[in-house]
C-alpha cells in the first residue's frame, strides 16, 4: 500500500513517487505526524524569525507603554494636595514639609561614628545602608533650599498637625508653616483657623487688587507705551524720508509733540491709579511663621493659594486639584518657570505646529507631484530622490544653524532694511521669531511629506489616469480632480508624521526664536494682530529649561512631568484630528476605482 511504501525505511531512499530522496549526512530527516511529513529544520518555516520579530515588537510596546504610564502617573499626581509632616529630629529641631520620595543610601563613616551603638548595629545589619525621606520644606527665602533629606535614624517622631498650612506665593515658591495674623484696614487680626471666612475674604480682596495692579501695569500702561513707541517710529520714519527743515518733517515733529503730551497724561493718570492701589496692597500684609518660629511678613495679595494640608476633605482636595490645573493651563509661569502656568508655551507650540503644516504641506506636495507626474524619470530625478531621503537624516541642529543664518540674518535683515529702517539697529525680522522657526521646521520635515506624498500618488491606479485622459481631461485636470483626491489619505499620513516630529523638536528652535519667558504673546490687539516676528515659548524647550536649567532640579521635576504629559496629549489630539480627516477621505474614495 502507499502508506506502507512511504513508511518503509527501504523505500524511503529509492526516490520513487511519494517518497523522499535520500539526504546526506548532516541534513534533517523527515518526521511523520499523522501521515504528514514535517521538516525538522525550523529555519525553513521561519519560526525563529517570527518569534524574534514578535518578541522585539512586544518589548518595544512595553517600553513605550511604561514611559507613557510613568509620565501619566507622575503628571496627574503632581497637583494633588499632599499632607505636611512635622518631623522631630534627635537633636530636638523640627522639619516640616511634604514627603516627596524615599530612598536608601550608604551611611558614611563620619556620620556613623556619631550615632548611638544600637543605631550603628542596625545599620550594620542592613549592610551599611539606611533609609531616608525627601521633604519639600519650601521657605526658600529663609532656608536657601526647597527640599531636605531626613534619614530615618535622625527622626525621633513624625506628626501631621492640622494647623500646618501650605502657601503658594507669587515669589520665592511655597511656604510651609502657619498663619499668625494679617493686617486689614489698619488693624491686625490674629488667625487661629485658616479656613475662617474673614481670612478667605481678606485674601480674595487682596488678590483681586494685586491682579488689578498687574492689569494696569501690563495692559493699560503697555497700550500707552505702544502708542508712544509708534509715534516715535513715525517721527523717525519722517526724518529718514524728508530732509532737515522740510515742511513734512516739521509737521511730523509737531504731531509727535502733541501726541506725546496726550499719551504722557494718560500714563501719569494710570501710574497714579497703580500707585494708590500699590499702597493699599503693601499695607495689607500677612505674617507667616515657619516651624522653627521665624516669621515672614509679606503682602497678602502675593499669596496665590493657601490651604491647611492636613485638614482637607476629599472634595476640598479635588477643588484645589482642579484650580491648580486651571492655573496651569491659563496662566503664565512664575518662579523661574517651576510654578504657575504654561499658557505662553502652549500657545507657542500650537501656533508653531499650525504654521509648520501650512508651510510644509504645499511645498512637499508640489515637489512630489512634479517628481512623480511631470519630471522625466532618469538619473537626475533619482539623484533628487536620494538627496531628499538623505535630508531626513541631517541632524536637526544643522537646520537651526541654517535657519538663523539664512532666514533670520539674510532674509530678515533685508526685510528690516527695506520695510523697517526706522527701527534699526534694533531688528524686527532680523532675529529669531515664530515665522523663521516654523520655516526652519518646515525644511526639517519636508522630506517626510515629499516621500509620503510621492508614494501616495504612485498608489493611484494608472487606469484612472488613462480613463480621465481618454475622456478629454488635461494632465493638470486629471491630477487635480482624479489623482490628488485619492492620494490625499497618503499625503495626510506624511503631514501627520511631519507634525508629530515638528511639535517635539527643540534643538533648532533654540537658535531661531524660542525663549525661556516670552514677555508678549505673538498675538495681541494691535495691528496686524498676529506678530510672527516675535520670540515665543515652546513646551519642548520649557521641559528642557525646567528640568536642566532651573536652580533646583528636584523642584522642577513635577513641572517636567506635567508639561511632558500636556505635550504628549497635544500631539495626540492633533494627530487624531488629522487621522480622522484621513479616514474620512479613505471612506469617500473607497469604491471609486475603475
Grid-cell match 494679617, residue found: 182
Summarised one tens digit per residue, pLDDT across range 453-482 is 999 999 888 888 889 989 989 999 999 999
Summarised one tens digit per residue, pLDDT across range 66-125 is 999 999 999 999 999 999 999 999 989 999 999 999 999 999 888 888 888 888 899 999
| pLDDT for the residue numbered 14 | 45
| pLDDT for the residue numbered 38 | 52
Q: Which of 483-492, 494-503, 584-593 has the lowest mean pLDDT?
A: 584-593
Whether residue 30 is predicted with pLDDT greater than 80 in this model: the reply is no
| pLDDT for the residue numbered 54 | 87
Grid-cell match 493686617, residue found: 183
| pLDDT for the residue numbered 18 | 47
Q: Are 175 and 138 in contact (CB under 8 A)?
A: yes
Q: Quote the CA–CA distance of 399 and 389 in Å, as a whole number.
A: 15
Torsion angle, alpha carbons of 109, 111, 113, 118, to 10: -110
Q: How confident is the model at residue 43 (pLDDT cuts 50, 70, 90)?
A: low
Quick one: cell of 436?
A: 523663521
What is the Cα 100 distance to its own chain's centre?
24
Q: Quote the CA–CA distance of 32 and 219 in Å, as a whole number.
A: 87
Q: What is the mean pLDDT of residues 132-151?
A: 92
Whether residue 284 is predicted with pLDDT greater than 90 in this model: the reply is yes
| pLDDT for the residue numbered 29 | 53
| pLDDT for the residue numbered 36 | 52
User: CB-based burial of residue 61 (10 Å sphere; 0-12 exposed, 13-18 middle, 19+ buried)?
Assistant: exposed
Q: Which of 125-139, 327-341, 574-588 has the lowest mean pLDDT?
A: 574-588
| pLDDT for the residue numbered 390 | 87
Whether residue 304 is predicted with pLDDT greater than 60 in this model: the reply is yes
Summarised one tens digit per residue, pLDDT across range 408-452 is 999 999 999 999 998 998 899 999 999 999 999 999 999 999 999
Summarised one tens digit per residue, pLDDT across range 537-566 is 999 999 999 988 877 778 888 899 999 999
Find, among 113, 110, 105, the residue nearest to 131 by Cα: 105
Per DSSP, what are the bridge partners of residue 174? 168
Q: Are 486 and 460 in contact (CB under 8 A)?
A: yes
Q: Which of 13-27, 170-184, 379-393 has the lowest mean pLDDT?
A: 13-27
Q: Which residue has the higher pLDDT, 39 or 526?
A: 526
Q: How confident is the model at residue 505 (pLDDT cuts 50, 70, 90)?
A: confident
Count of CA atoms in the C-beta half-sphere (13 A) of 74: 17
Q: How confident is the model at residue 195 (pLDDT cuts 50, 70, 90)?
A: confident
Q: Sign (positive/negative) of CA torsion 230, 520, 544, 304?
A: positive
CB count in 10 Å sphere of residue 282:
13
Summarised one tens digit per residue, pLDDT across range 323-347 is 999 999 999 998 888 888 999 999 9
Q: Quote the CA–CA distance of 280 and 420 in Å, as a whole number.
A: 43
**pTM, rounded to two decimals:** 0.84
Q: Quote the CA–CA distance of 152 and 129 in Å, as a whole number.
A: 11
Terminal C-alpha separation, the chain: 54
Q: Which helix (H) or strand (E) holds 301?
A: none
Q: Quote the CA–CA distance of 89 and 155 in Å, as a whole number.
A: 4
Amino acid at each position: 500500500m502507499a502508506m506502507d511504501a512511504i513508511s518503509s525505511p527501504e523505500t524511503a531512499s529509492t526516490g520513487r513517487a511519494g517518497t523522499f530522496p535520500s539526504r546526506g549526512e548532516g541534513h534533517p530527516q523527515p518526521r511523520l505526524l499523522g501521515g504528514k511529513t514535517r521538516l525538522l529544520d525550523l529555519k525553513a518555516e521561519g519560526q525563529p524569525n517570527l518569534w524574534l520579530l514578535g518578541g522585539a515588537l512586544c518589548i518595544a510596546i512595553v517600553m513605550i507603554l511604561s514611559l507613557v504610564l510613568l509620565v501619566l502617573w507622575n503628571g496627574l499626581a503632581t497637583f494633588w494636595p499632599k499632607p505636611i509632616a512635622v518631623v522631630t529630629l534627635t537633636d530636638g529641631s523640627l522639619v516640616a514639609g511634604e514627603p516627596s520620595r524615599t530612598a536608601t543610601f550608604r551611611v558614611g563613616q563620619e556620620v556613623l561614628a556619631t550615632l548611638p551603638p544600637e543605631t550603628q548595629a542596625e545599620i550594620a545589619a542592613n549592610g551599611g545602608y539606611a533609609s531616608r525621606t525627601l521633604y519639600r520644606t519650601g521657605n526658600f527665602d529663609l532656608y536657601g533650599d526647597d527640599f531636605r533629606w531626613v534619614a530615618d535614624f535622625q527622626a525621633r517622631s513624625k506628626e501631621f498637625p492640622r494647623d500646618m498650612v501650605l502657601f503658594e506665593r507669587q515669589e520665592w515658591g511655597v511656604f510651609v508653616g502657619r498663619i499668625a495674623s494679617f493686617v486689614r484696614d489698619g488693624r491686625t487680626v490674629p488667625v487661629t483657623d485658616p479656613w475662617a471666612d474673614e481670612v478667605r475674604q481678606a485674601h480674595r480682596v487682596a488678590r483681586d487688587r494685586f491682579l488689578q495692579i498687574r492689569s494696569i501695569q501690563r495692559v493699560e500702561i503697555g497700550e500707552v507705551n505702544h502708542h508712544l513707541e509708534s509715534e516715535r517710529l513715525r517721527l523717525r520714519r519722517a526724518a529718514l524720508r524728508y530732509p532737515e527743515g522740510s515742511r513734512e518733517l516739521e509737521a511730523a515733529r509737531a504731531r509727535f509733540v502733541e501726541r506725546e503730551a496726550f499719551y504722557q497724561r494718560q500714563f501719569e493718570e494710570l501710574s497714579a491709579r497703580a500707585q494708590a492701589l500699590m499702597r493699599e496692597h503693601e499695607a495689607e500684609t500677612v505674617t507667616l511663621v515657619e516651624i522653627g518660629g521665624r516669621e515672614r511678613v509679606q503682602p497678602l495679595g502675593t499669596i496665590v493659594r493657601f490651604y491647611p494640608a492636613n485638614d482637607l476633605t476629599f472634595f476640598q482636595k479635588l477643588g484645589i486639584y482642579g484650580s491648580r490645573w486651571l492655573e496651569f493651563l491659563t496662566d503664565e509661569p512664575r518662579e523661574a518657570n517651576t510654578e504657575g502656568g504654561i499658557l505662553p508655551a502652549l500657545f507657542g507650540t500650537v501656533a508653531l505646529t499650525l504654521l509648520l503644516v501650512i508651510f510644509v504641506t504645499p511645498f512637499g506636495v508640489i515637489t512630489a507631484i512634479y517628481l512623480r507626474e511631470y519630471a522625466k524619470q532618469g538619473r537626475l530625478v533619482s539623484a533628487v530622490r536620494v538627496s531628499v531621503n538623505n535630508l531626513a537624516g541631517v541632524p536637526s541642529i544643522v537646520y537651526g544653524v541654517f535657519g538663523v543664518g539664512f532666514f533670520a540674518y539674510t532674509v530678515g535683515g533685508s526685510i528690516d532694511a527695506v520695510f523697517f529702517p526706522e527701527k534699526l539697529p534694533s531688528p524686527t525680522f532680523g532675529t529669531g521669531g515664530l515665522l523663521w522657526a516654523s520655516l526652519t521646521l518646515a525644511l526639517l520635515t519636508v522630506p517626510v511629506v515629499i516621500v509620503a506624498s510621492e508614494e501616495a500618488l504612485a498608489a493611484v491606479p494608472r487606469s484612472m489616469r488613462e480613463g480621465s485622459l481618454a475622456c478629454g481631461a488635461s494632465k493638470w485636470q486629471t491630477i487635480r480632480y482624479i489623482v490628488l483626491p485619492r492620494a490625499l489619505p497618503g499625503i495626510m499620513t506624511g503631514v501627520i508624521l511631519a507634525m508629530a516630529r515638528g511639535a517635539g523638536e527643540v534643538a533648532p528652535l533654540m537658535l531661531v526664536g524660542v525663549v525661556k519667558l516670552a514677555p508678549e504673546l505673538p498675538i495681541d490687539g494691535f495691528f496686524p494682530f498676529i506678530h510672527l516676528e516675535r520670540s515665543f515659548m515652546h513646551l519642548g524647550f520649557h521641559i528642557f529649561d525646567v528640568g536642566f536649567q532651573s536652580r533646583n532640579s528636584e523642584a522642577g521635576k513635577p513641572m517636567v512631568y506635567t508639561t511632558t504629559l500636556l505635550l504628549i496629549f497635544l500631539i495626540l489630539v492633533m494627530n487624531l484630528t488629522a487621522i480622522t480627516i484621513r479616514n474620512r477621505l479613505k471612506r469617500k474614495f473607497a469604491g471609486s476605482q475603475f
